[in-house]
Copies of this chain bind each other. A is one copy, B any other.
Amino acid sequence: MNIFVSGATGFIGSHLIKQLLKLGHSITVNLRPGKETSFNSNVKTHTLGKGDIESDIDFFRREDFDGIIHLASLYITNHKSYEVSDLIDSNVKFGSYLLECASKASVNWFINTGTFWQNYQDEDYSPVNLYAATKQAFESIMQFYSETNQIKTCTLRLSDTFGQNDPRPKIFSLWERIAKSGETLPMSQGEQIIDINHISNVVHAFITLAGHLQNEPWNIKSGAVYALNAEKRYSLKELSIIFERVMETKLNIAWGDLDYREREVMVPWSKGVSIPDYFPVVTIEEGLKELKWKY
């Protein structure tokens, strides 16, 4: 497949690209201006928005991409007022620009990345934060392109993810730190259910979806929304026990010392549809073991 990827430098993007190259696909990524990034030499780069949109449409036509995987996103848990415009620019406007280029250049398919946080309290739509609202807003825009153009679109909504080289300040890195230092970590009661997938599963999900769109497009209805659920869900407390067992360590957590945060997701979205023929390739335990070998 000949694929254009946005957000290639992120945690998911970098793992996905490595795997796509391994499978022999041709990859072009968006190189954001001013970003010093070194990609694998097999990866082609292009900077969107350097000239006018017509020049980018021409580029897409020339390259004749089969599909787009749109991972680029600005993530902010609790936005400040001055960040509203940035969130819309990154999560609505940039993707719309990409969709306009892709549909005008007759790209066949477009995979968008959403979040379980669009489905607070298992609602069809209830955003946990403004970030999630901008993701929903983009899906509304995408539906226009999906209904009025040949391009087939779909969204993969993700929950928590983990794996090697994760630069994001997530729970496992926090626990790794306190396991080493022995310090006590104040946390909430820990009853919230966590739906977390190892990065290998995330990569596998995107590639399974791309494979359908490329080879069996009849399997995917344009505009479809899929959920990447973990095989098993655990409460945060249960997860800490698994962590201790696999990592052979002890965590000093002061459960209940913190309040749950506002709009804490106690039970992640459970009504999402799975990608046809998708199956997880790595369990949480296996993923944690991999992290352990790293140290």
- List residues of A whose CB falls within 8 A of some B CB: 52-54, 57, 81-82, 84-85, 88-89, 92-93, 96-97, 100-101, 104, 125-127, 129-130, 132-134, 136-141, 143-144, 147-148, 262-263
A129 and B144 in contact, given A81-B53, A82-B53, A93-B93 (Cβ under 8 angstroms): yes
Contact of A54 among B82, B92, B96 (CB under 8 A): B82
Q: Does B144 contact A133, Cβ atoms closer than 8 Å?
A: yes
Q: Indicate if the CB atoms of B52 and A82 lie closer than 8 Å.
A: yes
Inter-chain contacts of A81 with B (CB < 8 A): 53-54, 57, 100-101, 104
Q: Which residues of B contact A134 (CB under 8 A)?
A: 141
Residue pair B125, A147 in contact (C-beta under 8 Å): no
CB of A137, distance to nearest CB on chain B (Å): 4
- Given pairs A53-B84, A93-B93, 19 additional interface contacts (CB within 8 A): A53-B81, A53-B82, A54-B81, A54-B82, A81-B104, A84-B93, A84-B97, A85-B96, A85-B97, A89-B93, A127-B144, A127-B147, A129-B148, A133-B140, A133-B144, A137-B138, A137-B140, A140-B140, A148-B262
- Minimum Cβ distance to chain B for residue A119 (Å): 12
> Cβ of A144: which chain B residues have Cβ within 8 Å of it?
127, 129-130, 132-133
A82 to chain B: which residues have CB within 8 Å?
52-54
B143 close to A92 (CB less than 8 A): no
A139 CA / B126 CA spacing, docked (Å)? 12
Would you mind naming 20 contact pairs between A and B with Cβ atoms under 8 Å apart? A53-B81, A84-B97, A84-B100, A85-B93, A88-B88, A88-B92, A92-B92, A92-B93, A93-B93, A127-B143, A127-B147, A129-B144, A129-B148, A130-B144, A132-B144, A133-B141, A133-B143, A134-B141, A136-B140, A139-B140
Distance between A68 CB and nearest chain B CB, rounded to angstroms: 15
Q: How far is the CB of A151 from chain B (nearest CB, A)?
A: 14
A125 to B146, CA, bound (A): 13
Inter-chain contacts of A140 with B (CB < 8 A): 125, 127, 133, 136-137, 139-140
Give Cα distance in the complex from A132 to B127, angstroms: 21
Q: Which 10 A-B pairs have the closest CB atoms?
A: A133-B144, A137-B137, A136-B140, A137-B140, A88-B93, A127-B144, A53-B81, A84-B100, A133-B141, A81-B100
- How long is the Cα–Cα vector from A57 to B129 in the complex, in angstroms? 20
Closest chain B residue, CB of each to CB of A97: B84
A92, B137: Cβ atoms under 8 Å? Answer: yes
The answer to whether A130 and B137 have CB atoms under 8 Å apart is no
What is the CA–CA distance of A101 and B101 in the complex, to the nearest angstrom? Answer: 33
User: How close is A189's CB to chain B, nearest CB, in angstroms?
Assistant: 22
Residues of chain B within 8 A (CB-CB) of A136 are: 140, 143
Tell me if B147 and A141 are in contact (CB < 8 A).
no
B residues within 8 A CB of A148?
Answer: 129, 262-263
